[in-house]
Amino acid sequence: MNIAILGYGKMGQNIEKIAEKRGHSIVLKTNIKPNQEELKKADIAIDFSEPSAAFENISLAISVQVPVISGTTGWLDDYDKVVELCKEKSGHFLYASNFSVGVNLFFKLNKYFSKLMSSVENYQPELEETHHIHKKDAPSGTAISLAEQVIKETSYESWACPPDDSQNNIPIKAYREGEVFGDHCVTFSSEIDQLSIKHSAKSRQGFALGAVMAAEWLSKQKPGVYQMAQVLDDLIK
């Protein structure tokens, strides 16, 4: 496939290497709003830019009929507008807060874990995430996805970062340390004990490989808005 990389930072550069190893060509890589004519030459666009740029990049790709996947976090207030645009233009779109296969298995585990823990009384959930000091958003997109899963399986209605400590919110503690690639931990605690599940990324390779696999998968689908869970279900069939 001919791929346009929208956001040629840490993730964009990892994606380029993996995409080329898998036989794809990079026809555009940019750190600014893509040029429309250059973007049109791509079979698919992969956006790993920044919170303030993602919505515009994704919308542009959909408008010029280029299927697009995005891993950029921190822009989801505009997600519903992208879904609408995608319907209107019969586009292809897939967003994932985390593209690594390991984290997507962790999401499946978290769903089961949360359901199990909500079936017994007196356990309170808490999330922790740690990332490198360059990260622009907090909490991480992955932590938000995990919290949303816990909310679906429990009586909690929302999440919040300290110092907000209201009883109905699941606390998400976000730490920024050195060059940490991404650690996420979900804990349920009672006065008696606590149970945790944790995922730690050892590099960016898993995120980048998952993104390229998702791009390959999306290019074979009919128009629509898709989730990484659907890619994973096809991969582990």
List the binding residues: 33, 71-73, 96-99, 132, 141-142
Tell me which of ligand NDP, ligand LZUJQKHR, none is bound by residue 104, counting a contact when its beta carbon lies within the kind-specific cut-off of 5 to 8 angstroms: none
C-beta separation of 140 from 184 below 8 A: yes
Question: Helices 101-118 & 205-218, crossing angle to 10 degrees?
Answer: 90
Token pair belonging to 68: 């697009």
Provide CB contacts within 8 A for 222, sequence distance 6+: none
Minimum distance from residue 2 beta carbon to ligand LZUJQKHR (Å): 26
3-state secondary structure of 160: strand
Minimum distance from residue 52 beta carbon to ligand LZUJQKHR (Å): 14
* Of residues 33, 83, 44, 84, the one with CA closest to residue 66: 44
- Binding residues among 86-145 for ligand LZUJQKHR as defined by CB under 6 A: 97-98, 131, 135, 140-142
Is 87 a catalytic site residue?
Answer: no
Residues of each annotated binding site for NAD(+) = 71-73, 96-99
Token pair belonging to 30: 């940019």
What is the C-alpha separation between 155 and 117, in angstroms, rounded? 11
- Binding residues among 120-149 for ligand NDP as defined by CB under 6 A: 137
What is the C-alpha separation between 105 and 103, in angstroms, rounded? 5
Tell me which of ligand LZUJQKHR, ligand NDP, none is bound by residue 96, counting a contact when its beta carbon lies within the kind-specific cut-off of 5 to 8 angstroms: ligand NDP
* 71/171 with CB nearer ligand NDP: 71
Q: Does 210 help bind ligand LZUJQKHR (rule: CB under 6 A)?
A: no
- Binding residues among 47-76 for ligand NDP as defined by CB under 6 A: 48-50, 53, 57, 71-74
